[in-house]
């Protein structure tokens, strides 16, 4: 596969995963802040901004309306929802022949829907806007799995999706756990119960958590579930397994007989998560642990770029 094709499929997948993550956090946060005090609302918006790794708009003062517009429609903000879907569409347009017509039509429809919308139209009923964005992303993923050959291109799409997901989930956990655990009067059994529910819902994991642990929300169990559970699609461990699987498949399909740096880094990330114990993580320093996870995801991304996208001519000709 041409490196430019692999790069476009990889980034298309990352941008679409990022857009879905942004839509989910904004939808949940706007719903939560309806009945909360201004102080709690401000804190929640700070958590959202940090979780999405986005700088605030250059406007003072900036209220919830302003922040929603900035994170959704501001094309100058490279991590806004519209910017991400636009970038995904631009990447897929360059490799139109590599994907199915159903995939292209779905992404194009999603792009047209978000480009037509404006903050004035959606702010009164934000759920009616963000829900179709989330569903549109999920439909695209389903069409990808159902209509595209599971060859090299499909694995690059998987790779982009799960590197983005692992990094985003680790960042979300880091930001939220650091804030909640550092507050002495906040606990899963006390007045901040809603915030713990929101953290699980941010990863579409509340119902799955209750099936595993019941509704007894405890910080160590929440951290274990979102970090180390091997069956939850949004957990970091699940994503790490998918990253390693796709990298092995890409190497095999590319005819590589040696284990590359990207595969070794993915194996190290998976081993880190496979053999970690949540009580040790919590007792040591969960912030440093999650920072390390984010750093390893960035290293895997860089290794993928060097190994498959921006490699030198000498590397390509080497036996």
pLDDT in tens, 1-44: 789 999 999 999 999 999 999 999 999 999 887 766 777 788 88
The residue assigned the tokens 């706007």 is 30
- What is the distance of C-alpha 261 from the center of its chain? 23
Boundary of a domain, candidates 131, 148, 165:
148
Tokens for 209, please give them: 């958590």
| pLDDT of the residue at 190 | 45
Say if residue 284 is in the same domain as residue 235: yes
Tens digit of each residue's pLDDT (9 = 90 or more) over 219-242: 899 999 999 999 999 999 999 999
Tokens for 214, please give them: 């019941």
Tens digit of each residue's pLDDT (9 = 90 or more) over 67-98: 999 999 999 999 999 999 999 999 999 999 99
Q: What is the C-alpha separation between 27 and 18, in angstroms, rounded? A: 14
Least confident window among 101-105, 182-186, 237-241, 275-279:
182-186
Say if residue 164 is in the same domain as residue 34: no
Largest distance between two CA atoms of the chain: 64
Say if residue 13 is in the same domain as residue 81: yes
188: confidence class by pLDDT, cuts 50, 70, 90? very low
Say if residue 279 is in the same domain as residue 167: yes
Of residues 269 and 217, more confidence is placed in 269
Boundary of a domain, candidates 128, 148, 168:
148
Of the CA atoms within 13 Å of residue 275, those in its CB half-sphere come to: 5
Tens digit of each residue's pLDDT (9 = 90 or more) over 276-287: 999 999 988 899
Over 60: is that where the pLDDT of 315 sits? Answer: no
Say if residue 177 is in the same domain as residue 114: no
| pLDDT of the residue at 33 | 77
For residue 72, give the nearest of 10, 23, 30, 105 by alpha carbon.
Answer: 23
Say if residue 49 is in the same domain as residue 126: yes
Say if residue 103 is in the same domain as residue 179: no
HEC string for the chain = CCHHHHHHHHHHHHHHHHHHHHHHHHHHHHHHHHHCCHHHHHHHHHHHHHHCCCCCCCCCCCCHHHHHHHHHCCCCCCCCHHHHHHHHHHHHHCCHHHCCHHHHHHHHHHHHHHHHCCHHHHCCCCHHHHHHHHHHHHHHHHHHHHHCCCCHHHHHHHHHHHHHHHHHHHHHHHHHHHHHHCCCCCCCCCCCHHHHHHHHHHCCCHHHHHHHHCCCCCHHHHHHHHHHCCCCCCCHHHHHHHHHHHHHHHHHHCCCCCCCHHHHHHHHHHHHHHCCCHHHHHHHCHHHHHHHHHHHHHHHHHHHHHHHHCCCHHHHHCC
Say if residue 109 is in the same domain as residue 241: no
Say if residue 271 is in the same domain as residue 141: no
For residue 21, give the nearest of 193, 227, 169 by alpha carbon.
Answer: 169
| pLDDT of the residue at 187 | 45
Boundary of a domain, candidates 124, 148, 172:
148
Say if residue 210 is in the same domain as residue 271: yes
Q: What is the C-alpha separation between 150 and 158, in angstroms, rounded? A: 10
| pLDDT of the residue at 255 | 80
Domain containing 259 equals 153-319
Under 8 Å between Cβ of 239 and 165: yes
| pLDDT of the residue at 10 | 97
Say if residue 101 is in the same domain as residue 185: no
Say if residue 177 is in the same domain as residue 137: no
Counting residues of the chain whose pLDDT is more than 70, the rounded percentage is 93
For residue 81, give the nearest of 140, 44, 134 by alpha carbon.
Answer: 134
Please give the tally of structural domains in the chain.
2
Of residues 255 and 143, more confidence is placed in 143
Q: What is the C-alpha separation between 223 and 20, in angstroms, rounded? A: 22
| pLDDT of the residue at 184 | 52
């Amino acid at each position: 596969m041409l490196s430019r094709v692999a790069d476009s499929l990889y980034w298309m997948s990352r941008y679409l995963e990022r857009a879905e993550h942004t839509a989910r956090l904004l939808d949940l946060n706007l719903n939560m802040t309806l009945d909360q005090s201004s102080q709690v609302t401000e804190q929640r918006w700070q958590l959202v901004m940090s979780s999405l790794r986005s700088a605030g708009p250059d406007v003072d003062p900036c209220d919830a309306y302003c922040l929603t517009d900035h994170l959704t429609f501001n094309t100058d903000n490279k991590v806004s929802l519209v910017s991400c879907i636009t970038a995904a569409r631009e990447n897929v347009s360059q490799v139109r022949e590599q994907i199915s017509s159903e995939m292209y039509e779905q992404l194009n429809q999603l792009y047209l829907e978000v480009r037509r919308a404006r903050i004035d139209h959606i702010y009164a009923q934000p759920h009616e806007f963000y829900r179709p964005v989330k569903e549109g992303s999920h439909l695209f993923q389903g069409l990808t799995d159902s209509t595209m050959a599971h060859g090299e291109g499909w694995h690059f799409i998987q790779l982009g999706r799960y590197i983005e997901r692992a990094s985003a989930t680790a960042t979300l956990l880091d930001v939220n756990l650091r804030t909640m655990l550092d507050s002495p009067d906040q606990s899963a059994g006390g007045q901040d119960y809603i915030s713990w529910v929101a953290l699980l819902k941010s990863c579409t994991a509340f119902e799955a958590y209750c099936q595993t642990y019941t509704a007894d929300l405890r910080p160590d169990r929440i951290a274990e579930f979102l970090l180390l559970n091997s069956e939850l699609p949004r957990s970091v461990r699940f994503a790490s397994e998918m990253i390693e699987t796709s990298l092995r498949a890409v190497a095999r399909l590319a005819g590589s007989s040696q284990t590359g740096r990207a595969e070794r880094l993915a194996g190290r990330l998976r081993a880190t998560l496979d053999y970690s114990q949540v009580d040790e993580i919590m007792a040591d320093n969960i912030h440093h642990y999650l920072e390390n996870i984010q750093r390893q995801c960035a290293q895997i991304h860089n290794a993928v770029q060097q190994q498959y996208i921006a490699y030198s001519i000498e590397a390509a000709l080497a036996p």
